[in-house]
């Protein structure tokens, strides 16, 4: 179940990121994140009110950390997607998975040899998919932004796992509340709201709800198994983003990227077999 839920989170994340990248091509990345997160907050507030109870534990702290790191990472990521090749920027950002894997192992997790092998192959797969960026033919700015996004995503995944072990819903609510407050303060200080138009709202609502759903799927997956394994499977969304970019935008995938996708899929099979 852990493997399936984590893979589903990758599918939803990859689709959400593709849609966000399209909006970020015509609107500021920070505004895309802020408005989409606001839609997510409305959904989570409704769910939390429906639950009616507040669990004990340290979920608020993890939710705040996830909100701060996640929103910062999304700004960097959407900005990178808007200036670089989607099918290449996304794999670089996904390497932030190293953060929760290391933290999980340091916390006492011990995945099987087969799972470790699969994780290693999957990471090599996303590195191969990043080949065109690393050869210098594309600007350095998207690469730097993608690296910063990856680090933020890694911290967010670990925080979601920790908070999700107490309450998934309340951790997600705390995460969204934190990010929306930060963006609202920034909008007041800068006196800007991103110049969003009515035609942007459906896409922003989709991005916000899809990202929220992916976060929830991952939190449930990691709380039922190893955060190290769930993090690797949950970070395979670049394959989905690249697929959408190829199908919709006709972005050309080089042979090394295709090999990377194949390696990633092989890694998924081994991880699932060893789970």
Q: What is the DSSP string of 54-86?
A: ---SSHHHHHHHHHHHHHHHHHHHHHHHHHS-H
Which of 221-245 are b and which e, b meaning 16 or more Cβ less than 10 Å from the residue's Cβ?
bbbebbbbbbbbbbbbbbbbbbbbb
Range of lowest pLDDT (58-72, 127-141, 235-249): 127-141
* Average pLDDT of span 46-69: 87
Q: Which pLDDT belongs to residue 71? A: 85
- Averaged pLDDT for residues 173-185: 92
pLDDT number for residue 133: 47
Task: State the Cα angle at 176 between 85 and 179, rounded to 5°.
Answer: 70
Least confident of 129-143, 180-194, 236-250, 259-273: 129-143
pLDDT bin (cut points 50, 70, 90) of residue 224 is: confident
Give CA 67 to chain center in angstroms. 12
Contacts of residue 62, defined as CB under 8 A and 6 or more positions apart, other chains included, come to: 159, 160, 162, 163, 166, 171, 174
- Pick from 1-10, 79-88, 190-199: least confident: 79-88
Confidence (pLDDT) at 221: 92
- Is pLDDT of 134 > 60? no
Of 12-26, 58-72, 138-152, the range with the lowest mean pLDDT is 138-152
* Structure token pair of residue 181: 């407050």
Better-predicted residue by pLDDT, 192 or 151 = 151
Average pLDDT, the chain: 84
**What's the pLDDT score for residue 272?**
66
Give mean pLDDT, residues 34-61.
Answer: 88
Question: What's the confidence (pLDDT) of residue 35?
Answer: 92
Which has the higher per-residue pLDDT, 214 or 74? 214
What's the mean pLDDT in 7-30?
88
Q: Where are the chain's structural domains?
A: 2-274
Residue 173: name the closest of 78, 49, 73 by CA: 49
Report which DSSP code applies to 245: I
**From residue 167, how far is each of 50, 135, 265 by CA, in Å?**
14, 44, 31
50-79 average pLDDT score: 85
What number is the average pLDDT over the span 140-144?
A: 80
- Structure confidence at residue 181 (pLDDT): 93
Give the pLDDT score at 132: 53
Distant-in-sequence, close-in-space partners of 263: CB < 8 Å, separation ≥ 6: 121, 122, 124, 125, 128
Please state the pTM of the whole predicted model: 0.82
The distance between the two most distant Cα atoms of the chain, rounded to a whole number of Å, is 54
Kindly state the average pLDDT of the residues 159-172. Answer: 92
Average pLDDT over residues 152-162: 92
Handedness of CA 73, 74, 79, 80 (dihedral sign): positive
């Amino acid at each position: 179940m852990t493997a399936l839920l984590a893979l589903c989170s990758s599918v939803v994340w990859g689709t959400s990121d593709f849609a966000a990248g399209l909006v970020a091509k015509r609107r500021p990345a920070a505004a895309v994140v802020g408005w989409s997160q606001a839609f997510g907050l409305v959904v989570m507030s409704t769910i939390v009110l429906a639950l009616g109870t507040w669990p004990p534990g340290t979920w608020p702290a993890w939710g705040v950390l996830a909100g701060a790191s996640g929103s910062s990472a999304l700004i960097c990521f959407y900005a990178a997607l808007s200036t670089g090749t989607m099918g290449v920027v996304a794999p670089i950002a996904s390497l932030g998975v190293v953060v929760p894997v290391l933290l999980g192992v340091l916390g006492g997790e011990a995945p099987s040899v087969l799972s470790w092998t699969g994780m290693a192959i999957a990471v090599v797969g996303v590195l191969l998919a990043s080949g065109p960026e690393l050869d210098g033919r594309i600007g350095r700015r998207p690469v730097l932004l993608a690296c910063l996004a990856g680090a933020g995503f890694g911290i967010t995944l670990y925080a979601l796992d920790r908070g999700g072990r107490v309450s998934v819903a309340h951790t997600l609510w705390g995460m969204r509340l934190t990010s929306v407050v930060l963006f609202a303060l920034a909008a007041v200080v800068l006196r800007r709201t991103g110049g969003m138009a009515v035609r942007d709202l459906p896409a922003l609502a989709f991005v916000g709800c899809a990202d929220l759903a992916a976060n929830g799927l991952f939190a449930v997956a990691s709380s039922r198994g190893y955060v190290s394994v769930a993090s690797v499977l949950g970070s395979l969304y670049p394959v989905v983003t690249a697929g959408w970019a190829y199908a919709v935008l006709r972005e050309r995938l080089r042979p090394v990227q295709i090999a990377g996708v194949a390696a990633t899929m092989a890694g998924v099979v081994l991880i699932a077999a060893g789970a």
